[in-house]
Chains A and B, each alone.
Chain A
Amino acid sequence: MRKIVKYVVADILRNRTVLVYTVALFAAAFTVFSLEDNNSKGVLSLLNIILIIVPLVSIIFSAIYVYNSSEFVELLVSQPLKRKTIWLSLFSGLAFSLTLAFFAGVGIPVLIYQPNLLGLTMMAVGSLLSIIFVAIAMLATVIIRDKAKGIGAAILLWLYFSLLFDGFVLFLLFQFADYPLEKPMIAISAMNPIDLSRILILLQLDVSAMMGYTGAVFKDFFGTYSGISFSILVLMSWVAVPVWYATRKFNKQDL
């Protein structure tokens, strides 16, 4: 397995896309921090990068990469290797290299300008999001065999998680405004990894506003150790469940 992971990582790193992604992240993070006169505004811009750009790049790049390496996968399958090993190695390689890119691109500026809990949360959340969207992309590719359709599905999934879902939640909020929605909101936010990540950062960033009654409910939940471990567990399962399902599907698939 380690050999295949190594090969995948080497292949991805040789591929210029990830390098360009790293440099772009690095440049963007440095500019937002040095342009704004106060760091918290830089953090806000960076928040948008982490919540929008990182999932987008992760999901589309992974989808394209998996489709492009279908011949390589077929070749590996013909070898005396378990299918599970092949698939998981592919996933690990992708996840590792994209997380590495994120760490190099965003981590260094954050460590320089925001070496605090907020910066750490952003790093943790960003790398988890990278991995989650690799997992989701792999699930999409294993279900949809057609490349064009698959990439389209990946883009739609990203659109769903970063925009449509929130629109839906906002709609629900307006419709059920007369009911106490604080607790259901926590459950609903668990259904979208981007939302969950955003709330985790929000609790650091807008703590004063979050201390209002409703916010205090969220703060009481997400701010405690059990809440944080719940969030991390949910984010982890956003990796585990798609990967597990995709692996099962790949095991039985007629290539």
Chain B
Amino acid sequence: MRSVLTICCMLSCFFAAAKTITVGKGRAFQTITAGIAAAAGGDTVLVYPGIYREKNLLISKSLVLKGIDFPVLDGEHRYEIISVKASAVTVEGFKLLHSGVSSLEDIAGIKVYDARDVVISNNILNDSFFGIYIQNGTNCIVENNLLTGTAKNEQQSGNGIHSWKCDSMRIIGNTVSGHRDGIYFEFVKNSVIWRNKAQNNIRYGLHFMFSNDDMYVSNIFENNGSGVSVMFSKNIKMFSNYFAENWGDASHGILLKEISDGYLQGNYFEKNTSAVYMEGANRIRMTYNSFRNNGWALKIQASCMDVELERNNFIGNTFDVGTNGTLVQNTFNNNYWDKYEGYDLNKDGKGDIPYHPVSMYSMIVEKYASAMILFRSFITTLLDKTEKILPVLTPENLRDNSPLMKKAF
């Protein structure tokens, strides 16, 4: 039975062989619109270099639209450049300039409407409002695109790669800068964000809302307005990402707000004002992360529960942990803290006295921000030392019972 099916398939392929339609100066078609109109489902439209001003390109058949040497599609600041309204469409190798801007509609450089198996790869998008917008897509791939926005403020700018109500997305190897959020996920399930780079975006490098069972791996988030934000989501896995230089009072490496069952492993946080900020986070597990030279490595609000930290390295941070209350329902175990001053008599590599990562001064600064100006002065050092001996302000339960003597990895 199966072999008969296979033969039928092969035969149908043979007879209905996909055509290739060429578009460009001196080719079969002068405009892409005409080329698309002439194509049937399964055909390939090859676009040769040139500048095309075709208002809105609507693709409502399953075809491959491929640019050679980056033909330019100009949206003239007025149009949505490519709208994909069919499944199994590939858009590859274009340079898209100046999409329209609208505060009523979400105009994008490339927008996909209710489709599946769409591939958008190797495109360059400059000065678009939203970059690549997938609305109700399933099993789509957004790969190796370069998005450069010109966003000035949050109100009048769009996101780089925006996914809304999607399933099984793969966002791979894109570079996004100058947009509102680099990558935005809302109601997106079972998706992967891998090897992307989001930098110099106005708000977040990556923004998750109500998206469950997703994973982001090996991405770089640098210099974004306020880092990465994961909110109201479940089962998010965050592996081997790099978060750097997210500076500002409301700025974080990652903001984890109202999320549960997250897992962070092997991430690297460097020079952020606060590397990880947790609020209402439940059942989060953090292992093998590096925190280096951050203002606060971890700000963990008293509303968090069952957060487990194990085998992380805390090196050169101004404050290791900051919190806002004395209620502690989280566990710290076997982390390396460079500020640990204890000893290890039985030589098992673990310190014999617990480490209290919350210093008194971080509690004071949390309450009175201006007190930062007195940091590292004689009197505050004295206060810190006194507090270490007789804890009054700092939560007694927030401690690492067996801190490592050497780096965890």
For B87-117 the 0/1 string (1 means CB < 8 A from A) is: 0000000000000000000000000000000
Could you tell me if B293 and A208 are in contact, using CB atoms closer than 8 angstroms?
Answer: yes
Residue A72 is within 8 A (CB to CB) of chain B in the complex: no
Give B237-285 interface residues, CB cut-off 8 Å to A. 247-251, 271-273
Task: State the Cβ distance, A117 to closest chain B Cβ, in Å.
Answer: 15
Give CA–CA (A218, B369) in the complex, Å.
12
Could you tell me if B374 and A166 are in contact, using CB atoms closer than 8 angstroms?
Answer: yes
Give A105-140 interface residues, CB cut-off 8 Å to B. none
Could you tell me if B247 and A166 are in contact, using CB atoms closer than 8 angstroms?
Answer: no
Task: State the Cβ distance, B318 to closest chain A Cβ, in Å.
Answer: 4
Which among A52, A195, A214 has the greatest number of chain B C-beta atoms within 10 A?
A214
Give CA–CA (A98, B273) in the complex, Å.
38
Give B138-179 interface residues, CB cut-off 8 Å to A. none
Residue A44 is within 8 A (CB to CB) of chain B in the complex: yes
Chain B residues contacting A195 (CB-CB under 8 Å) are 373-374, 377
Give CA–CA (A166, B375) in the complex, Å.
10
Residue B319 is within 8 A (CB to CB) of chain A in the complex: yes
Contact of A40 among B251, B295, B316, B370 (CB under 8 A): B316
Could you tell me if B293 and A213 are in contact, using CB atoms closer than 8 angstroms?
Answer: no
Give CA–CA (A51, B373) in the complex, Å.
15
Give CA–CA (A200, B250) in the complex, Å.
24
Q: Which residue of B lies closest to A206 (CB)?
A: B318
Contact of A209 among B296, B315, B367, B380 (CB under 8 A): B296
Residue B376 is within 8 A (CB to CB) of chain A in the complex: yes
Chain A residues contacting B248 (CB-CB under 8 Å) are 211-213, 216
Chain B residues contacting A47 (CB-CB under 8 Å) are 376
Chain B residues contacting A182 (CB-CB under 8 Å) are 370
Residue A75 is within 8 A (CB to CB) of chain B in the complex: no
Could you tell me if B368 and A173 are in contact, using CB atoms closer than 8 angstroms?
Answer: yes
For B369-404 the 0/1 string (1 means CB < 8 A from A) is: 111111111111100000000000000000000000
Give CA–CA (A212, B370) in the complex, Å.
10
Give A135-186 interface residues, CB cut-off 8 Å to B. 162-163, 166-167, 169-170, 173-174, 177, 181-182, 185
Chain A residues contacting B250 (CB-CB under 8 Å) are 213
Chain A residues contacting B374 (CB-CB under 8 Å) are 166, 169-170, 173, 195
Residue A84 is within 8 A (CB to CB) of chain B in the complex: no
Given A209-B273, A209-B295, decide whether A181 and B370 contact each other with a Cβ distance below 8 A. yes
Q: Which residue of A lies closest to B273 (CB)?
A: A211
Task: State the Cβ distance, A227 to closest chain B Cβ, in Å.
Answer: 13
Give CA–CA (A210, B272) in the complex, Å.
10
B interface, over-half SS: loop
For A76-104 the 0/1 string (1 means CB < 8 A from B) is: 00000000000000000000000000000
Could you tell me if A198 and B377 are in contact, using CB atoms closer than 8 angstroms?
Answer: yes
For A191-214 the 0/1 string (1 means CB < 8 A from B) is: 000110011001001111111111
- Interface size bucket, A side? 35 or more
Chain A residues contacting B352 (CB-CB under 8 Å) are none
Give CA–CA (A152, B247) in the complex, Å.
46
Could you tell me if A212 and B295 are in contact, using CB atoms closer than 8 angstroms?
Answer: yes
Task: State the Cβ distance, A39 to closest chain B Cβ, in Å.
Answer: 10
Given A38-B315, A38-B316, A166-B374, decide whether A212 and B249 contact each other with a Cβ distance below 8 A. yes
Contact of A212 among B273, B338, B377, B381 (CB under 8 A): B273
Residue B211 is within 8 A (CB to CB) of chain A in the complex: no
Contact of A208 among B295, B373, B375 (CB under 8 A): B295
Chain B residues contacting A249 (CB-CB under 8 Å) are none
Residue A41 is within 8 A (CB to CB) of chain B in the complex: yes
Could you tell me if B318 and A208 are in contact, using CB atoms closer than 8 angstroms?
Answer: yes
Chain A residues contacting B318 (CB-CB under 8 Å) are 206, 208-209
Residue B294 is within 8 A (CB to CB) of chain A in the complex: yes
Give CA–CA (A173, B267) in the complex, Å.
37
For A25-49 the 0/1 string (1 means CB < 8 A from B) is: 0000000000000101100100110
Q: Which residue of B lies closest to A207 (CB)?
A: B271
Q: Which residue of A lies closest to B373 (CB)?
A: A185
Besides the contacts A177-B370, A209-B319, what 12 more A-B pairs have beta carbons closer than 8 Å? A44-B376, A166-B378, A170-B379, A209-B295, A209-B296, A209-B372, A212-B249, A214-B249, A214-B369, A215-B372, A216-B248, A218-B373
B residues lining the A interface (CB < 8 Å): 247-251, 271-273, 293-296, 315-316, 318-319, 338, 367-381
A residues lining the B interface (CB < 8 Å): 38, 40-41, 44, 47-48, 51-52, 162-163, 166-167, 169-170, 173-174, 177, 181-182, 185, 189, 194-195, 198-199, 202, 205-216, 218
